[in-house]
């Protein structure tokens, strides 16, 4: 299996960076105790945690791309969430609050720049104030740090261009470059003896045939993992952290296809550089429970830019970051799923509005002007896009919490699938990794 030479740009706090070359080692072995599929931030954090806990085990990360963290991790907003929104007692709430603290601590240890710029969740209509107060109570139940409700004058003191009646102030919220964090996890993993195999797209998993001459270690490593090039590794156990492909990997392994992944593209706008002074920290709307997604918000970035959005429209390709990206297989997989149609029918007018705003900048600007009236069409540009791996059940419900499961049978009992790791997965990555490592130890008796 050929090694890949990766060039990694460690982005600093202001848009500059230092070019660092690092090499994924050539395969010195084809057998591993645990293989982690997926080199996004969750996969790398989990591999790192396993390597630190089990230094005697041979561990590998398998990544289909030539680079690390180049999909959801490399396209997210970069927010270190504090844990306000999530249902008390849920994994989201628990892991986010723990994960934020661990994220700040890790960045301090590694010298990774971040900004604790805070967040205001702003009520601009009277009927939003009860929901805002309920959100405040939820945040308190989740043990979110330093939350307080503030009035219109305090809003303007923190965000001079923002208008609102009341806001929930979360000073513990921050921003960071998550791709840089993920690459640091990869360094830790390799320094602990782990192996990263890039250009390794997993397409098949099966139990090794008894007496196979290719398996030098007999049945000590009974699971064969093959990639799209026909290359193989052997392992004892597998952890999948495959994001947009988590359902397909589950099916490949013979486990349940539910929940299904339906991709939603989020398109961002960006403020022109000369207008970035209008936004100091994160500015978010009060969530409306009638709508499936959060809505437009203002997000400062580590490079000094400000992202606006995103919207949420069905993507016609699982990694389709551009408007015209299309995959027949991905499109049919989504539109033939009954769960998607149930979601669409329940949110038909919302979906049409999102599609309209995706086409017309002026419609998106109207949403932004509700918070910062001074923003005009002339102040913005079209920006980057990301694709959200949204898990849906067959009843058309968004699967809101993290989902971890395995299967039965020879292969299923040797696999732990991370089936759904939605936002705030990046914030929660170190906390998720600890939970996964605990589960791996118990499930696989390491």
pLDDT digits (tens, 9 = 90+) for 312-345: 889 999 999 998 999 999 999 999 999 999 999 9
Q: What's the confidence (pLDDT) of residue 29?
A: 57
Instruction: Let me know whether 66 and 204 are in one domain.
Output: yes
CA 426 to chain centre: 5
One domain for residues 217 and 233: yes
Mean pLDDT of 81-110: 96
CATH no. for residue 326? 3.30.9
- Rounded Cα distance between 57 and 350, Å, is 50
Tell me: pLDDT of 22 over 60.
no
Query: Same structural domain for residues 345 and 370?
Result: yes
126 lies in a domain?
Answer: no
For the segment 345-349, the average pLDDT, to the nearest whole number, is 86
Whether residue 33 is contained in a domain is answered as yes
Does some domain include residue 146? Answer: no
pLDDT band for 217, please (50, 70, 90 cuts). Answer: low
Q: For residue 409, is it within any domain?
A: yes
Average pLDDT in the 166-186 region?
Answer: 98
Domain hosting residue 205, numbered range: 29-73+179-257+401-444
Claim to verify: residue 349 and residue 206 sit in the same structural domain: no
b/e map of 229-241 (b: 16 or more CB within 10 Å)?
eebebbbbbbbbb
297 and 381 belong to one structural domain: yes
Who's near 255: CB < 8 A, 6+ residues apart?
405, 406, 407, 412, 415, 417
Looking at the fold, whether 435 and 384 belong to one and the same domain comes out as: no
Q: Residue 109 domain-assigned? A: no
Q: Which residue has the tokens 């305090």?
A: 154
Domain assignment present for residue 95? The answer is: no
What domain count does the chain have? 2
Q: Are residues 315 and 384 in the same domain?
A: yes
* pLDDT greater than 80 at residue 16: no
Q: Would the pLDDT of 28 be above 80?
A: no
Provide the pLDDT for residue 116.
Answer: 97
Q: Are residues 245 and 193 in the same domain?
A: yes
Same domain for 275 and 377, yes or no, is yes
Q: Kindly report which listed range (3-12, 251-260, 363-372) carries the lowest average pLDDT score.
A: 3-12
Nearest-angstrom CA–CA distance, 297 and 160: 16
Q: Is residue 105 part of a domain?
A: no
Residue 220 and residue 321 share a domain: no
First to last CA, the chain: 27
According to the model, what pLDDT value does residue 216 have? 54
Tokens 């397409």: give the residue.
203
Tell me the average pLDDT of the chain: 89
Same domain (yes/no): 344, 380: yes
- Would you say 57 and 195 are in contact if contact means Cβ atoms under 8 Å apart? no
Query: Domain of 222: which CATH number?
Result: 3.50.50.60
Q: How confident is the model at residue 68 (pLDDT cuts 50, 70, 90)?
A: very high
Highest mean pLDDT (candidates 144-158, 254-268, 356-370): 144-158
Asked if the model's pLDDT at residue 293 lies above 90, the reply is no
Pick from 398, 413, 431: which residue ends a domain? Answer: 398
pLDDT tens across 111-160, in order?
999 999 999 999 999 999 999 999 999 999 999 999 999 999 999 999 99
Q: How many CB atoms lie within 10 A of CB 4?
A: 17
pLDDT digit string (tens) for 50-64? Answer: 999 999 999 999 999
pLDDT class of 3 with cuts at 50, 70, 90: very low
Dist. CA 132–CA 110, nearest whole Å: 36
Is residue 294 scored above 90 in pLDDT?
A: no
**Higher local confidence (pLDDT), 378 or 258:** 378
Closest CA to 331 of 315, 355, 311: 315
Q: Report yes or no on 160 lying in a domain.
A: no
Q: Are residues 195 and 303 in the same domain?
A: no
Question: Model's pTM, two decimal places?
Answer: 0.90
């Amino acid at each position: 299996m050929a090694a890949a030479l990766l060039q990694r740009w460690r982005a600093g706090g202001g848009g500059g960076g230092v070019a660092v070359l690092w090499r994924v080692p050539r395969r010195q072995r084809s057998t591993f105790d645990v293989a982690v599929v997926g080199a996004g931030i969750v996969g790398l954090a989990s591999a790192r945690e396993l390597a630190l806990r089990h230094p005697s085990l041979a561990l590998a990360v398998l990544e289909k791309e030539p680079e690390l963290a180049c999909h959801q991790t490399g396209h997210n907003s970069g927010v270190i969430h504090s844990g306000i929104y999530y249902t008390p007692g849920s994994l989201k709430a628990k892991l986010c609050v723990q994960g934020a603290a661990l994220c700040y601590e890790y960045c301090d240890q590694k010298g990774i720049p971040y900004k604790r710029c805070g967040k205001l969740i702003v009520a601009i209509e009277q009927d939003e104030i009860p929901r805002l107060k309920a959100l405040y109570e939820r945040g308190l139940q989740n043990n979110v740090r330093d939350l307080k409700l503030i009035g219109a004058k305090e809003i303007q003191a923190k965000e001079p261009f923002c208008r609102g009646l009341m806001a929930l102030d979360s000073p513990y919220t921050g921003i960071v470059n998550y791709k840089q964090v993920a690459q640091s996890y990869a360094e830790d993993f390799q320094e602990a003896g782990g192996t990263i195999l890039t250009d390794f797209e997993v397409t098949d998993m099966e139990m090794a045939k008894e007496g196979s001459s290719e398996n030098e270690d007999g049945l000590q490593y009974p699971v064969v993992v093959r990639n799209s090039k026909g290359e193989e590794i052997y392992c004892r156990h597998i952890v999948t952290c495959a994001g947009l492909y988590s359902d397909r990997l589950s099916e490949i392994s013979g486990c349940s296809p539910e929940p299904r992944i339906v991709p939603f593209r989020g398109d961002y706008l960006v403020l022109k550089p000369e207008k970035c002074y209008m936004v100091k920290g994160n500015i978010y709307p009060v969530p409306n429970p009638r709508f499936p997604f959060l809505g437009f918000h203002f997000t400062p970035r580590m490079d000094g830019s400000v992202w606006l959005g995103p919207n949420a429209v069905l993507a016609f390709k699982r990694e389709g970051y551009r408007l015209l990206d299309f995959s027949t297989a991905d499109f049919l997989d989504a539109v033939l799923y009954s769960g998607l149609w149930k979601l669409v029918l329940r949110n038909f007018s919302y979906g049409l509005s999102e599609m309209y705003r995706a086409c017309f900048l002026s419609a998106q600007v109207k949403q932004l002007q509700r918070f910062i009236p001074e923003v005009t069409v002339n102040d913005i540009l079209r920006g980057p896009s990301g694709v959200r791996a949204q898990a849906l059940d067959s009843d058309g419900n968004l699967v809101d919490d993290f989902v971890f499961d395995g299967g039965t049978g020879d292969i299923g009992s040797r696999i732990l699938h991370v089936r759904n790791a939605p936002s705030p997965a990046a914030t929660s990555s170190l906390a998720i990794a600890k939970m996964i490592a605990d589960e791996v130890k118990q499930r696989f008796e390491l």
